[in-house]
Structure 1
């Protein structure tokens, strides 16, 4: 297969922990032609969507050691048509550059893109969890999103809880997530001014999220990796002392985790919608059996879950990509056979 990863720069990878590197290594190890690009390197040439790519050369044997593989990687630079790839795996870091997705719209019918472009458009921010609210609060904490300082102040004042979570709509990696308590209500307006920003007319302002505090958040959250609507691995992330954020990049640590009955029910509940939206590989963050966030751009955790459970989740992910590409090829092959049969029937 010919696979393109649209991701962050190769030089930004931490080879000890990076999930994308595990996926790339698995593809190269299987003998696939692998190219890397970034959203800034997408372009159009003669009305054809293409990308400036670094293509793995096949001069050297692929090392089983991923760190050694990273250090020995050798590339050839080329501008390549995106429509020539069997699969494009989206692994760019948030926030999403929505305009970049337009470069890929022209190739989506013939190339498998994971995750689907429309899915990325609707799910790249924290509002997406609200789309699961149709059957109530069992799985989703009450969430409020607004730019209105007055409205958010009323929500906070009317809350039955002593504390709530405040965070930016487009944040990632735990950045900007804070707990606000009723005892510090006099500071709330100042926090809203900082988070929402903008001028007196609202220009340049940002949406923020005010969310019910889920009991147990101080003990950490659970990252669950979902593949084709099913959980394939999980870990618990425990925050650093005095910090509500469980993200590893924010100082949290990880421990082995077995899904609870409630977490399994949550996965079963949201899995079909993720698949319908073309979100085949995601990372969901769960606290107390409730869905907090859905990570769709470059969900991480593969290396850490692998290490905790002695598995290789990248194998499952690339198996899935191969199966989808094979199915598309099968459909095309049968279509060509049928077309030939019709042409032969019309031959003189």
Structure 2
């Protein structure tokens, strides 16, 4: 198969932990052909199909450290050397990391046009648009803790008075960015609210603090509608409240709990039917906190610590979806 990865610059990949690289390596092992481009390399012109200016790549087996391209060799020095109609590859894998900003949004519309022309895109562009990673949990209230979505400061103050210990976060954050905890004393609640809601102009999410975070913010991967049997518990370190690996959390792989499996097995069939081949559920204690659909990670950590081959499960699901 010919696979096109729409991703961040290849030279920035840290291959020891990059899930997109793990997918590429497994696909290459099976003999599939690899291409890559960035969202900025996509274009459409009337009378022509959606095109990506791509690089044809092969893997070298050498490591990459996020500062070089040692891990791959490209037939083209720059993507503009070779245009590729998206409808003429077997699968387009949208793996651009957040944030889900206007340019990401526009890229999904180009990918939707490519679908109308016959391309197969994973995850489905319309599903990426319909499942913002913080707000997608609202559809499944039976699995979430006390949660408020608002831009109103008085509403936030009322929620704090009701629950005492709360977490505030922006809707467009990633890697733990912009997450605040306010305890029962309410210290700095007003200032934090003003910072996040920009004086009432921006919507934010407020959730009751879950003390189970000390045991980890669990990433549960769901591939082809089925859960990976192990999750990665991202455990906050020191005085941090954030377990995100990007915020210094320690990743510890562990078997799914009964509750983890219940959540994953309930959501999995629903989400895969919408075109979400790969989903990362975030679970703290027994509560679902996020549904990650843009470029879920943790393939390498789970595989390295447990021996369960997450990339193989993913490529199996991709091949099955293309039959």
Normalising by structure 1, what TM-score? Answer: 0.84
Report the Cα distance in structure 1 between the residues aligned to 2:64 and 2:188, rounded to whole angstroms.
47
Given the alignment, which residue of 122, 139, 142 partners 1:114? 122
Q: CA deviation at 1:171?
A: 0.6
Partner of residue 97 from structure 2, selected from 76, 93, 105: 93
Tell me what 1:38 maps to.
38
Given the alignment of the two structures, is residue 80 of structure 1 paired with residue 84 of structure 2, yes or no? yes
SS for the counterpart of 1:173 is coil
Q: Contact conserved, 1:119 with 1:278, CA < 8 A, in 2?
A: yes
User: Does the alignment pair 1:298 with 2:295?
Assistant: yes
Deviation at 1:64, TM superposition (A): 5.6
Larger of the two Rg values belongs to structure: 1
Is contact 1:112–1:324 with CA below 8 Å preserved after alignment? no
Number of the residue aligned with 1:166: 168
Give the root-mean-square deviation of aligned CA atoms: 2.0
Corresponding residue for residue 11 of structure 2: 11
Q: Does 1:188 align with 2:186?
A: no
2:91–2:121: 8 Å Cα contact kept in structure 1? yes
Q: 1:277 to 1:66 in 2, by over 3 A?
A: farther
Tell me the CA shift for residue 222 of structure 1: 1.1
What per-residue deviation string (whole Å, max 9, x for no partner) do you get for residues 109-168 of structure 1?
5232111112100113311100112xx3xx2112111111122222222x1x33011100
Aligned partners of 1:63 and 1:190: how far apart in 2?
A: 50
Task: Return the offset for 1:175.
Answer: 0.8
Question: Per the alignment, do residues 11 and 272 of structure 1 end up closer, same or farther by CA in structure 2, a change over 3 Å counting?
Answer: same
Cα distance, 1:194 vs. partner? 0.8
- Is the alpha carbon distance of 1:141 and 1:35 closer, same or farther for their aligned partners in structure 2, counting shifts above 3 Å? same
Deviation at 1:106, TM superposition (A): 2.1
1:212 matched to which residue of 2?
A: 208
Q: 1:4 to 1:42 in 2, by over 3 A?
A: same
Runs of 4+ displaced beyond 3 Å: 62-68
**Corresponding position of 1:341:** none
Change (3 A) 1:186 1:319: closer
For the residue of structure 2 that corresponds to 1:150, the secondary structure is: helix
Alignment size in residue pairs: 310
Gaps (5+ residues) in structure 1? 327-348
Unmatched tracts of structure 2, length 5 or more: none
Aligned to 1:47: 48
Whether the aligned pair in 2 keeps the contact of 1:167 and 1:209 (CA below 8 Å) is yes
Give per-residue Cα distances to partners, 1:21-43, cap 9 Å, x unaligned. 11112222222221111111111
Contact 2:108 2:126 in 1 (8 A): no
Equivalence for 1:259: 256
Structure 1 residue 67, shift from structure 2 partner: 5.1
Tell me how far apart the structure 2 counterparts of residues 114 and 99 of structure 1 sit (CA, whole Å).
16
